[in-house]
Structure 1
Amino acid sequence: MAHIWQGVLPAVTTKFNADFSIDRAWTGKNIEAQIDAGVDGIIVCGSLGEASTLSLDEKLQVLDVAVEASRGRVPVLLTIAENSTLDGCRQAEAGAKRGAAGYMVLPGLRYLSDRRETLNHFRMVADASPLPLMIYNNPLAYGVDMTPEMFAEIADEKKIVAIKESCGDVRRVTDLINEVGDRYAILCGVDNLAMEAILMGAHGWVAGLVCAFPHETVAIYKLLKAGRLEEARAIYRWFAPLLALDVSRSSCRTSSWRKRLSALARSRCVRPVCRSPATSARPSRR
C-alpha cells in the first residue's frame, strides 16, 4: 500500500490577510510546523481549509504554498469539493500540473446525487487526472453516503485507492474491510473516533485538531502502531474534549480559535475567523 495513504494527514487551515487574500507566509509556516512534528502528508483546501469559499485560483495558490513548504518531504493532497463534476475535473487537471501528489474528493455538493450519479462523479474526476485519489465519505455533512457496497462496485477504478471515512460509526471500518478486503486504504476522518478506528484496522487519520496539536496527534498514532496502547489511551483521553470539537457545527470557526490559543497562532488575528458565510462573525457597527 502506498505510503501516501497512511499515518497522520492534517487537513490544514488556510490563512488570510486582512484583505482576505491568501496569507502565503503563515499558511506555509503552519504546514512547516506540521511536517516538523512528524505528519505523513498534508491535505489542503478541505472543509477546514475553506474549500467552499476559495476560487480555483486561490486553491492553486494554497497548493503552491504547500508544495513549496513540503520540499518533497511529504506528499501534498488537494481537496476537490465542487458543486459540479465538470468543475471537479478541471481542478483535478490543474492540480496535477502544480505538484499535487493526489486528491481527496467529495461528492458533488449542493445537489444530493443518487447511487449512479455519485459513482459517475467519482469516476469522471478520477479519469481527469493521472493522480490517485481518496474518496471522502461524510454523509452527515454532505447528504451522500458511499456505502461499502458502492466501494465494491467502483473497485475497478484503479486510481481510486483510499477512503476517508467520516460517517460517524466506527463499525463502518469493519464493514468496509469485510466488503472490499484490502482494496482501499481506510483513513478515519473523525477526530474523536480515530483511536477506535485505527484499532479496528484503519490505516491512518485525516485529522483536524492536529492543526493546533500536531505533536500530540502524531504521538497517539505512533504509540498505537507500536502497540503501546496505555500510553496512547492516556493522551487520547486528555485530548478527547478538544477532539469532540471536530464534529461541532462550527468546526471551522472553533478550529481557528483553537489555533489562536496554541503555539501555532499568528501574531495578530484577522476577522472574520473564517470567510463568510462559514462564520457568523460580523463587523462591528460602532
Structure 2
Amino acid sequence: MSPWNGVLPAITTAFNADLSIDHGAVRAHVNWLVSRGCTGIIPCGSLGEGATLSLEEKVALMRTVVGAVKVPVIPGIAALSTAEAVRLAKAAEDAGCAGLMVLPPYVYSSDWREMKAHMAAVLRATKLPCLLYNNPVAYRTDFTPAHLAELAAEFDNAAAVKESSTDARRVTGIRALLGDRLALGVGVDDCLVEGVEAGARFWVAGLVNAFPDESVRLYDLAMAGKKEAAFALYRWFLPLLRLDTVTKFVQLIKLVQQEMGWGHERVRAPRLELVGPEREECLRVLREALANRPAL
C-alpha cells in the first residue's frame, strides 16, 4: 500500500491528567480515524506536540500506533539536533513504521547548505520512503522546488513532499520541475481543494482528528473533480479548517476534539489550555458548524 494517498491525519497526542501519554486513548482514536476512511496515521508531528515529547516517548507512541492500525504509520522526524533526528529515524524504522515525515530543524534555521545537510543525514539513515515537510511559515526554512529537486536527485527514498507554504502555486511549481518524481500532498487544512486542483494527491490534515467523515468526503469529492459538491462542503468546513492555520492550532483542535467526544484539551507547556474570549470564539465556531452540519 502506498502511503502517499488519501487523508493522513496528523494526530494530536492524548495526555493523562499528569500529562503522560494516554496510550489507550491514542489507540482508540487512531482506530476510529481508520474506521472512518483515513488511509494512514502521522504521529509525533507539530499538531502532536512533538517538540514536547522525549525521544523515548516518541518511540513508544510510534509503537502504540503501529500496533493499533493496519494502515501506514508515518511519524514526524523532528529534533533540535541532526544527531537526534537520525536516532529517531532509525528508531522509527525499528518500530515498524512505513515511512517518515522529515522536518527541518525547528529552532535553528539557516541557509540551504546547512538545511540540506540535515535532511541528507536523515535520508541516509533509513531505507524508508520519506515525506519532505516544507513549512516555511512555522519553521522559517523554505524548501523551494529547486531544493526538493536536489534531494530527489540524490536520494531514492525522497518520495513525497508535504507542501505547507499555503501557496497552491508551489504545487504546480514542484510538478513543473519534477514531474511525478515526488508525490505531492497538501499540508494545511484550508488549502485542500486548491491543492488537489493543482495536482496534490494526499492530504495531511488536522481537523480530521474531530471530523473524519467530512474530511474524507471533501478529499474524495475534490479528487473526483466534483467541484460544485466539493465547494459546498468546503464552504461549510472552512471556519473549522482555519483553526489549523494559527499559532494556537494545537489548543484549538484539541478543544474541538474534546467537544466532539474524542480526547481532552490538555496540552503540555509552554502551551496552555485556552481561556476567555479565545476559547469562547472557538466554541462559537464549532456550535455554528454543528448547527449547519451537512448530510453526507
TM-score, scaled relative to structure 1:
0.93
- Equivalents in 2 of 1:160, 1:231: separation in Å? 34
Write out aligned runs for 1:90-239 (5 A). 90-156=87-153, 157-239=155-237
- Equivalents in 2 of 1:127, 1:279: separation in Å? 37
Q: Say which of 66, 70, 75 aligns to 2:72.
A: 75
Structure 2 residues not aligned, in runs of 5+: 276-296
Q: Contact 2:162–2:187 at 8 Å: present in 1 too?
A: yes
- Equivalents in 1 of 2:216, 2:57: separation in Å? 29
The aligned counterpart of 1:5 is: 4
- Equivalents in 2 of 1:40, 1:232: separation in Å? 20
Q: Say which of 267, 272, 277 aligns to 1:279.
A: 272
Please give the root-mean-square deviation of Cα atoms over the aligned residues, in Å: 1.4
| % identity of equivalent residues | 44
Cα-to-partner distance string for 1:77-102 (whole Å, 9 max, x where unaligned): 11111111110000011111111111
The aligned counterpart of 1:27 is: 26
For this pair of structures, how many residues does the alignment match? 274
- Equivalents in 2 of 1:130, 1:154: separation in Å? 15
Cα-to-partner distance string for 1:198-233 (whole Å, 9 max, x where unaligned): 111001110000001001000011122223222221
Q: Say which of 55, 69, 86 aligns to 2:83.
A: 86
2:207 partner amino acid: L
- Equivalents in 2 of 1:80, 1:4: separation in Å? 16
SS of residue in 1 equivalent to 2:74: strand
Extract structure 1 runs of 4+ deviating beyond 6 A: none
2:53 partner amino acid: L
- Equivalents in 1 of 2:161, 2:131: separation in Å? 5
- Equivalents in 2 of 1:202, 1:227: separation in Å? 13
- Equivalents in 1 of 2:168, 2:220: separation in Å? 20
SS of residue in 2 equivalent to 1:91: helix
Residue 44 of structure 2 is aligned to residue 51 of structure 1: no
The Cα shift of 1:274 comes to 1.0
1:143 partner amino acid: R
Q: Contact 2:15–2:22 at 8 Å: present in 1 too?
A: yes
Structure 1 residues not aligned, in runs of 5+: none
SS of residue in 2 equivalent to 1:162: strand
2:267 partner amino acid: C
SS of residue in 2 equivalent to 1:104: strand
Q: Contact 1:84–1:109 at 8 Å: present in 2 too?
A: no
- Equivalents in 1 of 2:107, 2:225: separation in Å? 42
Residue 250 of structure 2 is aligned to residue 258 of structure 1: no
The Cα shift of 1:76 comes to 0.4
